[in-house]
Structure 1
Amino acid sequence: MRGLRAALAFLTRLPSGRLEAEDFACAPAWFGVVGLLIGALLALVFVVADALWPATLAALVTVAAGLLITGGLHEDGVADVFDGLGSGRPKERALEIMRDSRIGSFGALALGLALAARILALAALGPLVVVSLIAGQGLSRVMMALLLRAGPYARASGAATGMTGPFGPQGAAVLGATLLVSLALMGYHAGWAVFGGLAGLILSVWLVRLWMMRRIGGLTGDAFGAAQVLGDVGFLLGLLACL
């Protein structure tokens, strides 16, 4: 279970106990499980907030809670990717921009639109919002793990370079089980609309990878964060399109 605790430490600010550097090599297989946990916490936040305020405000509170749980890790990736790739600069300069802690206009606009789309989509999902939060957080992090292991990694070193090895039989089983649980949960409540959500998720992640590969020839830690955020938004929008 050290891989699970490593995934929890990497993806969230929740307590995870003492870990060694080698524990993080097993973390990606547990990304989806951590996503389900995050989704369950956010679903609880939404239920409480929805009892107090209108759906849009409840969705805003829920998204804010997600930022607190993860420390805005993935959202930072969205801003960095759009700043770096949107700059139109050559590869090395784009990578430098992506490492810059300051946010530029491209990043601010992209992040603002992504957060707004997520808030509005959650508010519009009605009775499906609870299961959508759980499944969306789980599935988007499964895709994040698959993207990480698919590579190629664009930097010689970085936050994700120690997690690019194979999953192994146990890791693949954990990741596969998380995928099936997420799809079954969503499919039971949303029926065939789950395939619209899955299509939106896959398309969003594929576009992030395509853009990264064409601009700099590889992926970075920021790309994985952007894929999670935009994949989750794509999942929610795909669901809404098919309901």
Structure 2
Amino acid sequence: MSKSPFIDEIPPRSWLGDVHLAAVFLTRLPLPDAGMGDLARSMRAFPLIGLGLGLGGGAIAWAAGSVLPPLAAALLCVLSLVLATGALHEDGLADLADGLGARGDRDKRLEVMRDSRTGAFGVLALIFSVGLRTAALAAIPLGWSQCAALVAACSLSRALIPAAMQVMGPARGDGLGAGAGCPDATIAATAAGLGLLACLAGLGLSGTLGALIAALAAGGAVVWTARRALGGYTGDVLGAVQQATEIGILLAAAGMLS
């Protein structure tokens, strides 16, 4: 495990501290300052933050769906998740799409990904991300089914971020991806286990198998592409992994629950 530059001010192995730091990093909720902790270690709590986001999004979808058409309610749910996370993962997806769409070598792609401006490929990636998630949610029956699908998608998609870091190295020596440090195999396994438990609670065994297959296929495609085009991961690549796996899980849930 590479050393994180963050100074550890959270009690060692504190789950509460890790949940707090993960929530501050993954969301824009008005939380107390977490201080500077070990971000790599806190990744074991990523699926727990996803669980909370899924429950919140499910509640909004349920309330909106009682007075609005399914498509409008689903779009409001996706909007609530984007606002809650500050479009953290969507930003990564757009930057990766722009980088992959750029002409040139690896260094040119990484340079484009650093650019704060969003190009045509990034805009299209965001359109398809929001559109596919909204369409999938609208196809799932209102109520517990939608909530279960959101819990599974939000939790497992974030649980697989540490796993993706296990099979890739950092594409560059600086930036958020490298600065966070790489979680060890125990952290990755813990996060994956918690994500699978959230799926089992919401979708059952058969639904979890379908969601896992979809997540691995979608996330694996991003990992394979990033390794070939960039030589490893950046913070943007990890955001794109989350987006791809969330889309895959919601589409799988829509197919099983609609």
Deviations 1:88-115 (A, max 9, x none): 3211110011111111011111110111
Aligned partner of residue 103 in structure 2, secondary structure:
coil
Identical aligned pairs, as a percentage?
33
Aligned partner of residue 37 in structure 2, secondary structure:
helix
- Structure 1 residues 46-195: aligned runs within 5 Å: 46-127=61-142, 128-167=145-184, 171=187, 174-188=190-204, 192-195=206-209
- Structure 1 residues 6-17: aligned runs within 5 Å: 6-17=21-32
Pick aligned residue for 2:241 from 214, 227, 230: 227
Q: What's the offset of the Cα at 1:173?
A: 7.0
Question: Equivalent residue for 1:42?
Answer: 57
Question: Equivalent residue for 2:10?
Answer: none
Code of the residue aligned with 1:82 in structure 2: it is A
CA distance in 2, matches of 1:234, 1:185: 18
Code of the residue aligned with 2:237 in structure 1: it is A
The alignment's C-alpha RMSD in Å is 1.8
Code of the residue aligned with 1:137 in structure 2: it is C
Question: Equivalent residue for 1:200?
Answer: 214
Does structure 2 retain, via aligned residues, the 8 Å contact 1:149–1:164?
no
Instruction: Give the gaps of 5 or more residues in structure 2.
Output: 1-15
Q: What's the offset of the Cα at 1:177?
A: 4.6
Does 142-151 or 33-42 show the bigger shift? 142-151
Does structure 2 retain, via aligned residues, the 8 Å contact 1:25–1:162?
no
Aligned length: 240
Question: Equivalent residue for 2:40?
Answer: 25
Does structure 2 retain, via aligned residues, the 8 Å contact 1:14–1:69?
yes
Code of the residue aligned with 1:145 in structure 2: it is P
What's the TM-score once normalised by structure 1's chain length? 0.92
Aligned partner of residue 126 in structure 1, secondary structure:
coil
Question: Equivalent residue for 1:214?
Answer: 228
Aligned partner of residue 192 in structure 1, secondary structure:
helix
Does structure 1 retain, via aligned residues, the 8 Å contact 2:200–2:208?
no
Code of the residue aligned with 2:231 in structure 1: it is G
Counterparts in 2 of 1:35 and 1:180: CA distance versus 1, 3 Å = same
Aligned partner of residue 52 in structure 1, secondary structure:
coil
CA distance in 1, matches of 2:185, 2:105: 36
Does structure 1 retain, via aligned residues, the 8 Å contact 2:160–2:191?
no
Instruction: Give the gaps of 5 or more residues in structure 1.
Output: none
Does 17-26 or 40-49 show the bigger shift? 17-26
Aligned partner of residue 176 in structure 2, secondary structure:
coil
What's the TM-score once normalised by structure 2's chain length? 0.87
CA distance in 2, matches of 1:180, 1:201: 11
Code of the residue aligned with 2:152 in structure 1: it is A
Does 193-202 or 64-73 show the bigger shift? 193-202
Does structure 1 retain, via aligned residues, the 8 Å contact 2:46–2:158?
yes
Deviations 1:191-215 (A, max 9, x none): 5233222211111100001111111
Higher helix share: 1
